[in-house]
């Protein structure tokens, strides 16, 4: 029976290929895949944390773990395929600009990081299961299996960021002559901002025990922030080609952290590990993000306007970051920890783990043992500014290196 559909309605192979190019804008599929994998890792990690404070003990194939494994598998397979295709296709268009390793293989720098990170993540899974069966529940976060897992996660995420970065940097010296080139450049800028924001989220999660709302009137919070954030924010800010890169990257961090913290508490959860002091019935949120977006905006303006010596820029950035971070985080920390207006679905301060007594005296008060005399806090904060200046200078150097990555 002959078809009654006009031939003009049947998409040709060339039309299908054209639509694929229009969607991908000439960006390799593995780049989208590894950025997606990075998102899976972040949300799987956040779900895992909320699982532990809401349900308790989990197994090797618990849903949060599966989400993280998806991230590892996707990044490993797509990056591995990119490496193998470059290795065995001697006329591969990207081979000449790739990295050669072990004398045999060729691939982009980002793909190499992703493969190594994926292998570390997948290796840590049975190792962690054996560890629990042998030694019982974890009494600390950084057990050997968790250390391998965290290193693998961050390597995958760093690989995703570097993979986008190399393509973005190739457009720095190019003249964008047509609409497709301009759209491709804009897409790469955005993908880099997303990848950098996802890695910032994991960095915060790893340091969150030192920066919880109960510590926002303690110098430990600000010292930790001074060491960890300037180095990263100034590095990605210098490497990015976005208009306000640090602001956008911290906005991605906030959104990435808030979405699962807002959505998961809408679902039921029952503790399955004793003792249960707080009989919860829904998932408990993890944490409201730090207000990094405020000093981030100021850092963007500073980096736009000051074009002098990087040592001076690092000192200025340290002062700007620390003063503004203190100015917004100190009162916001008090609001989160003590105000009844923060005890809701939006600000998350009503969250409380199943193994913590709900009537604990300092649940909504600052513990006196964590409050410092003004002179002690001022001295420690001054040292924090010094640490931030060193961190910022290393970040600027790192950012200069990232601007040169093209493979």
Each residue's pLDDT, cut to its tens digit, for the chain (407 residues) gives 444 444 444 455 554 444 545 566 777 888 888 899 999 999 999 998 999 899 887 777 788 889 988 998 998 888 888 888 878 777 666 666 667 776 677 777 788 888 888 888 888 777 666 666 666 665 555 667 777 778 888 888 888 888 888 888 887 766 666 777 778 888 888 999 999 999 999 999 989 989 999 999 999 999 999 999 999 999 999 999 899 999 999 999 999 999 999 999 999 988 987 788 999 999 999 999 999 999 999 999 999 998 889 999 999 999 999 999 999 999 999 999 999 999 999 999 999 999 899 999 999 999 998 899 999 999 999 999 999 999 999 999 999 988 887 77
Does residue 341 fall inside a structural domain?
A: yes
Helix (H) or strand (E) holding 106: strand 105-107
CA distance 311 to 25: 39
Residue 80, strand partner residues: none
Provide the domain limits for residue 236.
212-406
Does residue 7 fall inside a structural domain?
A: no
Does residue 54 fall inside a structural domain?
A: yes
Which pLDDT belongs to residue 82?
83
Same domain for 204 and 216: no
For residue 355, give every residue at least 6 positions away whose Cβ sits within 8 Å of its Cβ, in sequence order, or none: 56, 271, 273, 275, 276, 277, 278
Same domain for 174 and 134: yes
Does residue 134 fall inside a structural domain?
A: yes
CA triplet 260, 212, 285: central angle to 5 degrees? 25
Does residue 19 fall inside a structural domain?
A: no
Same domain for 154 and 216: no
Does residue 21 fall inside a structural domain?
A: no
Which pLDDT belongs to residue 9?
43
Q: Is the bond leading into 275 cis (omega within 30 degrees of zero)?
A: yes
- Check: CB of residue 121 under 8 Å from CB of residue 139: no
Same domain for 362 and 242: yes
Which pLDDT belongs to residue 140?
56
Q: What is the pTM of this model?
A: 0.88
Q: Does residue 271 sit in helix, strand or coil?
A: coil
Residues 52-89 as b or e (16 or more Cβ within 10 Å = b):
bbbbbebeeebebbebbbebbbbbbbbbbebbeebbee
Same domain for 113 and 62: yes
Q: Does residue 100 sit in helix, strand or coil?
A: strand
Q: How many domains does the chain have?
A: 2
Same domain for 33 and 121: yes
| CA 13 to chain centroid | 38
Same domain for 237 and 90: no
Last residue of a domain, one of 165, 184, 210: 210
Range list of β-strands (E), 305-406: none
């Amino acid at each position: 029976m002959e078809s009654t559909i006009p031939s003009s309605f049947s998409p040709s192979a060339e039309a299908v290929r054209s639509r694929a190019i229009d969607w991908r804008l000439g960006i390799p599929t593995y780049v989208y895949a590894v950025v997606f994998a990075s998102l899976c890792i972040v949300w799987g990690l956040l779900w895992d944390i909320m699982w532990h404070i809401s349900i308790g003990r989990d197994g090797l194939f618990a849903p949060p773990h599966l989400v993280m494994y998806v991230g590892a598998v996707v990044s490993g397979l797509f990056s591995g395929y990119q490496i193998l295709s470059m290795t065995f296709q001697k006329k591969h268009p990207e081979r000449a600009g790739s990295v050669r390793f072990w004398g045999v293989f060729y691939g982009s720098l980002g793909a190499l990081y992703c493969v190594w990170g994926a292998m570390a993540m997948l290796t840590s899974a049975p190792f962690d299961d054996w560890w629990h069966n042998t030694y019982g529940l974890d009494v600390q976060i950084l057990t050997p299996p968790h250390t391998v897992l965290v290193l693998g996660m961050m390597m995958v995420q760093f690989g995703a960021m570097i993979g986008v970065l190399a393509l973005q940097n190739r457009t720095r010296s190019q003249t964008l002559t047509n609409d497709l080139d301009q759209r491709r450049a804009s897409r790469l800028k955005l993908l880099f901002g997303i990848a950098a924001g996802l890695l910032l989220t994991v960095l915060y999660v790893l340091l969150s025990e030192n920066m919880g709302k109960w510590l926002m009137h303690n110098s430990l919070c600000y010292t930790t922030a001074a060491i960890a954030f300037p180095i990263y924010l100034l590095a990605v800010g210098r490497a990015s080609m976005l208009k306000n890169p640090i602001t956008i990257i911290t906005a991605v961090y906030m959104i990435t952290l808030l979405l699962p913290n807002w959505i998961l508490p809408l679902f039921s959860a029952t503790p399955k590990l004793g003792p249960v002091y707080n009989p919860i019935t829904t998932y408990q949120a993890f944490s409201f993000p730090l207000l990094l977006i405020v000093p981030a905006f100021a850092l963007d303006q500073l980096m736009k306007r000051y074009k002098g010596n990087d040592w001076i820029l690092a000192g200025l950035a340290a002062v700007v970051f620390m003063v503004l971070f203190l100015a917004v985080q100190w009162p916001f920390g008090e609001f989160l920890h003590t105000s009844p207006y923060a005890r809701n679905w939006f600000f998350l301060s009503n969250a409380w783990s199943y193994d913590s007594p709900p009537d604990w005296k300092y649940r909504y008060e600052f513990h006196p043992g964590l409050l410092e005399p003004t002179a002690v806090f001022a001295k420690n904060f001054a040292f924090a500014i010094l640490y931030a200046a060193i961190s910022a200078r290393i970040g600027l150097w790192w950012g200069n290196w990232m601007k040169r990555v093209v493979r």
